[in-house]
A and B are shown apart, each in its own frame.
Chain A
Amino acid sequence: MEKIVKKTVLLFLLILAFASCTKNKELLFDEANLVYVEYQDSTDYTFATRPAAVVMDSIVVSYRIIGSVSAKDRQIKLVPTAATTAKAGYHYKVGTAVIKANEFSSKVPIYVYRRPGLKDSSLVVVLQVAENEDFKPGFPKRLNYKFTLTDVLKKPSNWETTWVSYFGSYSEVKFKFLITATGKTDWNSSPLPQDSRYLSQKARNALLEYNQTYGPLIDENGQQVFFP
């Protein structure tokens, strides 16, 4: 009897020992792949800062995946939400929205068109990441990219925080002058130190030249344009 018990225990231990040799399953991410808006989630776009000849432009939006890269290109599905007032295919068109093979992120162009109606109105586009066969929506708070689209000259959203120290109080005449003098079209983002320094120098020299040539530049409020 004792012999049987010993043999049974030995057999059990042998089974246990060989069972432990089973290869571990690798701890890899095997959830569904997700995608989200990588950086900035909104912008204001106006054609008014571009030359009249520009009838089409693009806004580039970065998307990034959560999960593994793939050996094949994968589509990102972007759909306009109910808040969108612009007409797809007429005011805007989403370009190729693809995460390329072996890449984690992609820059998706959104083409915007200068339509007559934009001269007196501002439209909104909110593009939301939707589920498709390649991706599920990623971080819930980073699924939407919103932009406004107009052909009206609008005061940059960061004028009072960024530009006021360089150029003083806002006026439309001053802003148009700055656009012409510097050639800068995107005024909604914060400039790097070397850029703000150059813009300030360029604008001051242009205003000096204007004033010497044509006399003082007067804005829509009857005030002489000057930079502090």
Chain B
Amino acid sequence: MNFKNNNLSSVFFMLSLFFFGSCYKDHSNKDLAPTNKIDITDAKAASQFVVFQGDSLKLKPTLSQSLSSNISQLEFTWIVYNNNGAVSLAAPRIEISKDYELKYLVKGDPFILGEPYIVRLGVKDKTTGVTSYLNYSVLIGNKYGTGWLVLEDKAGKGDLSFVFTDFTAEHGIYTDRNTAAITGPRKLEITPFPVTDDISTTGKRLYILADNGSQEYNYLTMVKKFDYGFLFFSAPAIQNPTVMTWTSQYTYSGVRSAALGIAINNGKLHSNLVGGFPGVKKWGDVALNPQGNQNYSLAPYVVGGETYPAIVYDNTSKRFYRIQAYNPTPVAGTLEVFPSGSTSGVSSVFDMNDVGMTMLFQDSADVVNDYNAIMKSVDNQAYLLRYKTKNSATAPTITLGKTLMNAPGILNYSAAAGSTTTPHIYYGNANILSRYETSSNAVVETYSFPIGENITAIKYTKGYYDKKGPRLAVATWNGSAGKVYYFAINANGAIGSYTNVVSGFSKIVDLVYKY
């Protein structure tokens, strides 16, 4: 009995200790006193949004405080960091503002075109030290992604304009972002497919050719990347570029890939080989002709396809040459003759190895792998040669047609473009735009611009962004101002009347559809 009473006493004693122990006054600083709660919200933070380079990033979230309305006790900090999965952990956090409302011009550092970023607002209550955060997910976009890039000659110096798909234009793009002057602008060259040359990041290429000092530019930002000479293993002594482009020999999963780079400088050929192997790829030295010398002068055109990755025309010997892409033979990279003979010969309608005329113009035809070349004979007649870049062992012939052209003014054309959907070549002569039909050998339509407004450049694009048919862009110059007229080409290739006109240009030298 006593033992039982002792146990009960002990339990009672312990409970008493707990009970009185809980009455001890708390001197700690762990009180649950309410603090000012800052709430930051913004519907824009719910998902990623795009900001174009050159635009201002403007953000002003809604702010609320639970215990105060005094904004002066808050400290605002906007930071930004790259949110690319490959680098985000290591990406530096860069402070871009201390204001409540963000207004930040997206141009250059820390923003890189095409990269995702987190823009984070931190709001700190200076009284409590508590900070609330709100993250915005931002993708830096390029408003120059789709549209017409226009190369102008401003008193001998080159500049770029951009015509957006809504036919608004932005001028002075080149001078806005580059310091090196383009002297004597000649031509724009862009690649429709990415190039992996291990000189810079894989992507499309943009070259601007000029009388001298031609350069490679960032395809997206149009900021200068490299001097012309840097793109060669040995810089050419004379810089007189007329062609700098890439041909595609193969298509993988519907996507073309670059195989062979062709540069024509001072009439001589330089080639560049890419194809997945490591190492820096640059344009090589001057290619020799089959006679082992440099006595040739190439017309400023190159075409390429599956069988023949590059075909060029020599206006000195008045003949075509072919250039091989990857081939472990010493002749690969030189000018080579076309196969001849009864079984493997490629020539039937005319001789690719002996044309005997001067090339004036060349462009794609309305059949894939087919090309139209406008030639001038020794007796000043215009001929249309048609050939293809793909053949087979059983059907080796690539020559398709030779026609004495019935195209008034073609020998003195100022600009031209071939249609890739209908059998037409559009060409300009003074202020007259003509549609020459290759199938009927006749000019079937003309369009007259105002007298004195002469055509300086023409470009045809089949894959226009709205997928509502091809467009023809025609640049004109009246001696003081340049314009670009846009024509919606119908299924028969008809020009009709222009649908849009954009003005405010200097003399337009060239234009390309960028996509």
Contacts and interface: CB of A to CB of B under 8 A. Distances in A.
A188 B274 CA distance: 23
Given A194-B272, A208-B293, A201 B284 contact: yes
Contacts of B294: 205, 208
Interface in A158-200: 165-167, 192-198, 200
A228 B329 CA distance: 10
B233 A200 contact: no
B199 to A, nearest CB: 11
Given A198-B284, A201-B284, A208-B288, A227 B328 contact: no
A195 B277 CA distance: 11
A100 interface: no
B292 A208 contact: yes
Contacts of B275: 193
Contacts of A198: 233, 282, 284-285
Contact of A193 (B280, B285, B286, B328): B328
Contact of A197 (B284, B286, B293): B284
Nearest to A197: B333
Contacts of A228: 330
Contacts of B234: 202
Contacts of B209: none
A205 to B, nearest CB: 5
B393 to A, nearest CB: 25
21 contacts: A165-B329, A166-B330, A167-B330, A192-B277, A194-B277, A194-B280, A196-B328, A197-B332, A197-B333, A200-B330, A200-B333, A201-B286, A201-B287, A201-B288, A201-B334, A202-B234, A204-B292, A204-B334, A205-B285, A205-B286, A205-B288
Interface centre among A192, A195, A197 (most CB of B within 10 A): A197
A195 B279 CA distance: 9
Interface in B98-139: none
B171 interface: no
Nearest to A200: B330
B333 to A, nearest CB: 5
A204 B279 contact: no
Interface in B255-303: 271-275, 277-282, 284-288, 292-294
Contact of A194 (B273, B293, B329, B334): B273
B326 interface: yes
Interface in B205-250: 233-234
A197 B282 CA distance: 11
Interface in B323-339: 326, 328-330, 332-334
B285 A201 contact: yes
Nearest to A195: B279
Given A197-B271, A201-B288, 14 more contacts: A192-B277, A192-B279, A193-B326, A194-B274, A194-B280, A197-B284, A197-B332, A198-B285, A200-B333, A201-B285, A201-B286, A201-B333, A201-B334, A204-B288
A227 B286 CA distance: 16
Size class of the B contact interface (CB-based, 8 Å): 20 to 34
B292 A197 contact: no
Interface of A: 165-167, 192-198, 200-202, 204-205, 208, 227-228
Interface in B129-171: none
A165 B286 contact: no
B279 A194 contact: yes
A205 B232 CA distance: 15
Contacts of A194: 272-274, 277, 279-282, 284
Interface string B304-343: 0000000000000000000000101110111000000000
A193 B273 contact: yes
A204 B331 CA distance: 11
The 4 A-B pairs of least Cβ separation, nearest first, read A201-B285, A198-B284, A192-B279, A166-B330
A102 to B, nearest CB: 15
Contacts of B272: 194
Contacts of A200: 330, 333
A72 B100 CA distance: 47
Nearest to B269: A201
Contacts of B285: 198, 201-202, 205
Nearest to A191: B279
A166 B333 CA distance: 12
A193 B233 contact: no
Nearest to B273: A194
Given A193-B277, A194-B282, A205-B285, A227 B326 contact: no
A198 B231 CA distance: 13
Nearest to B286: A205
Nearest to B274: A194
Contacts of A201: 284-288, 333-334
A226 B334 CA distance: 16
Interface centre among B288, B328, B329, B330 (most CB of A within 10 A): B330
B223 to A, nearest CB: 26
Contacts of A167: 330
Nearest to A203: B285
Contacts of A165: 328-330
A196 B275 CA distance: 15
B397 to A, nearest CB: 29
Contacts of B334: 201, 204
A198 B280 CA distance: 12
A131 B273 CA distance: 47
A208 B293 CA distance: 7
A74 B200 CA distance: 36
B272 to A, nearest CB: 7
B297 to A, nearest CB: 17
B197 to A, nearest CB: 9
Contact of A192 (B278, B329, B332): B278
Given A165-B329, A208-B294, A197 B288 contact: no
A195 B329 CA distance: 13
B276 to A, nearest CB: 10
A165 B329 CA distance: 7
A150 B328 CA distance: 31
A3 B334 CA distance: 100
Contacts of B333: 197, 200-201
A1 B278 CA distance: 82
Interface in B428-471: none
B288 to A, nearest CB: 6
Nearest to A228: B330
A172 to B, nearest CB: 21
A167 B330 CA distance: 8
A163 to B, nearest CB: 10
B309 to A, nearest CB: 13
A88 to B, nearest CB: 34
